[in-house]
Amino acid sequence: AAWLGINIFLFTYYFLFFDRDERYFYTRAILGSALAWARASAKCLNFNSMLILLPVCRNLLSFLRGTCSCCRRTLRKQLDHNLTFHKLVAYALALLTAVHTIAHLFNLERYNQSQQATDRSLPAVLSKMHQQGSNKWLNPIHSNQTTVEYVAFTTIPGLTGVIITLALILMVTSSTEFIRRNYFELFWYTHHLFLIYFAGLVIHGIAGLVRGQTEQSMAEVHPHNCAEYLTQRDQNCTDKCCKDPEFGSIPAESWKWVLAPIILYVFERILRVWRAQQKVVVTKVVMHPARVLELQMQKKGFCMEVGQYIFVNCPTISPLEWHPFTLTSAPEEDFFSIHIRAAGDWTERLIDTFQLEIPRIEVDGPFGTASEDVFQYEVAMLVGAGIGVTPFASILKSIWYKFQQADQNLKTKKIYFYWLCRDTGAFAWFNDLLASLEQKMAESGKADFLTYRLFLTGWDTSIANNVALHFDTATDTVTGLRHKTIFGRPMWNTEFAAVAAAHPRSVVGVFLCGPEALAKSLQKSCHQHSSLDPRKVKFYFNKENF
């Protein structure tokens, strides 16, 4: 809301400024309202270009998350929407670029028409003033043979404008969900066109083709008093208004807006490159069912919190590609681990490579996520879909260690864990952890601390028949755990109603690592089951975003 308000303010303020300010009286005589449209959209473009890099400065966000640990929960939650905000700013840039480009196409056409006009109209007279001296030109088109296309592809503003627009189009179109999911490499490489975008943006305004009357000239020949003399005066005119007005360029300002974010981003990249160069030792490689690869690693100085993620690069596969993976280890362990599911060209090649040899791995991170706040809630609902269970592996392992160490500072009193999987193989690598937790909590007298529900969303008749035959056994036939696997999808209204009834005065944190459709469903349930009474149950939704 603040971002939208600032955009509206900037656009309105500068639109009215360039539409009414007397310094641009003569410029408006040629260009009309298109001047205000171009300049107002330019200011908003500068503002949004200043913001676009900040949401992807992950070290900055992790630092802010740490410093905001004592802030209000709603304030910290805003940091979890960094990629959503990044996309929102990108769409705004695309829209504002379209407005700015269309406005300047109108401007060029009107400049051209005014230059070719042969009457004594004010636009025609102003367009011929370049013949009177170097500081007196207002129309950048000085020849009747010049075309709009020529100006667009030969001047600095025109050429950089074309390059910026093409770079932006490629970045936005390659960022669609379909491209990112199926052709990540295309998304990754085209997104680095932001370097060209910012270089073009800084250079774009240095030629100063759009001009206004200078302050000194305004004091001598104010357009309010002297504009009519330009079209009516003769060679013997002696009035003070007979002097020609002088014009100056609007100074380039884009660099002032983007300099600080660019410096910040450069430091961010330097830090990440330095950290990535530190040696990583792969201590253990485990191949789980359903093509899930587990890597256990060690790195000097590596320090993590639950639910955080890292970026992984394998130079053998691609020296430039970095992919995010949630850490599945606990902070209490002397190694850090990730689980990688085969889902695309890069992960397929990585798994195949590790089956032949152990290649060199580079790691950047860790970076903070919403799941870091899980122990800030009295009650937590953890929802994982498929490989989306990984951040909760870290949380549940950490709980296991806290119980083992009899941690008295654990604020969380109850955890509900939901895992949705399409096939039984996906359960295999997580069973041991859940079984250990069951045993440890039973030994600690806190068997009710963790309630987990496993949902199998895809099955065949053989699995169903096997379950029916062993329905009365103490352990589940699919997982071997005490809690039975549920076939189908959760009824979220029922689940939330049960949690609300069991904890009528608690603040419940709902954490998801899964698809967007599930996120919308859970967010809706959070709103429906949260009480308006601040003394009663409240559900707060948190989603993993990479």
- Average pLDDT of 383-390? 76
- The pLDDT-based confidence of 369 (bands split at 50, 70, 90) is confident
CATH classification of the domain holding 500? 3.40.50.80
Q: 176 in a domain, yes or no? A: no
CATH classification of the domain holding 353? 2.40.30.10
Q: Say whether pLDDT at 166 is over 90.
A: yes
Q: Say whether pLDDT at 48 is over 70.
A: yes
Q: 174 in a domain, yes or no? A: no
Q: Say whether pLDDT at 541 is over 60.
A: yes
| Judgement on whether residues 60 and 136 belong to the same structural domain of the protein | yes
Higher pLDDT, 97 or 386: 97
| Judgement on whether residues 74 and 112 belong to the same structural domain of the protein | yes
Q: 360 in a domain, yes or no? A: yes
| Judgement on whether residues 47 and 122 belong to the same structural domain of the protein | yes
Run of H or E residues at 431:
helix 428-443
Q: 534 in a domain, yes or no? A: yes
| Judgement on whether residues 382 and 499 belong to the same structural domain of the protein | yes
- The pLDDT-based confidence of 427 (bands split at 50, 70, 90) is low
- Average pLDDT of 445-461? 74
Q: Say whether pLDDT at 502 is over 80.
A: yes
Please report which residue ranges of 52-204 form alpha helices under DSSP H.
58-67, 73-77, 82-116, 122-127, 148-154, 156-173, 177-182, 184-191, 194-204
Q: How many domains does the chain have?
A: 3
Which tens digit of pLDDT belongs to each residue from 206-223? 888 888 888 888 888 888
Q: 312 in a domain, yes or no? A: yes
Q: Which of 318, 349, 367 is the last residue of a domain?
A: 367
| Judgement on whether residues 302 and 416 belong to the same structural domain of the protein | no
Least confident residue range of 70-74, 110-114, 356-360, 451-455: 70-74
| Judgement on whether residues 4 and 152 belong to the same structural domain of the protein | yes
| Judgement on whether residues 436 and 485 belong to the same structural domain of the protein | yes
- The pLDDT-based confidence of 485 (bands split at 50, 70, 90) is confident
Q: DSSP E strands: which ranges in 289-401?
A: 292-299, 309-313, 323-326, 336-341, 362-367, 379-385
Q: 181 in a domain, yes or no? A: no
Q: 535 in a domain, yes or no? A: yes
Q: 101 in a domain, yes or no? A: yes
| Judgement on whether residues 357 and 416 belong to the same structural domain of the protein | no
Which tens digit of pLDDT belongs to each residue from 118-155? 787 888 888 887 766 566 788 888 887 877 788 878 88
| Judgement on whether residues 316 and 399 belong to the same structural domain of the protein | no
| Judgement on whether residues 434 and 311 belong to the same structural domain of the protein | no
Q: What gap in Å lies between CA 422 and CA 442, rounded to an integer?
A: 29
Domain that holds residue 471: 371-543
Run of H or E residues at 543:
strand 538-543
Q: Which of 340, 367, 394 is the last residue of a domain?
A: 367
Q: Which of 310, 342, 367 is the last residue of a domain?
A: 367
| Judgement on whether residues 346 and 448 belong to the same structural domain of the protein | no
CB 310 within 8 A of CB 324: yes
Write phi, then psi, for 241 (nearest 5 degrees): -75, -5
CB 399 within 8 A of CB 450: yes
| Judgement on whether residues 7 and 96 belong to the same structural domain of the protein | yes
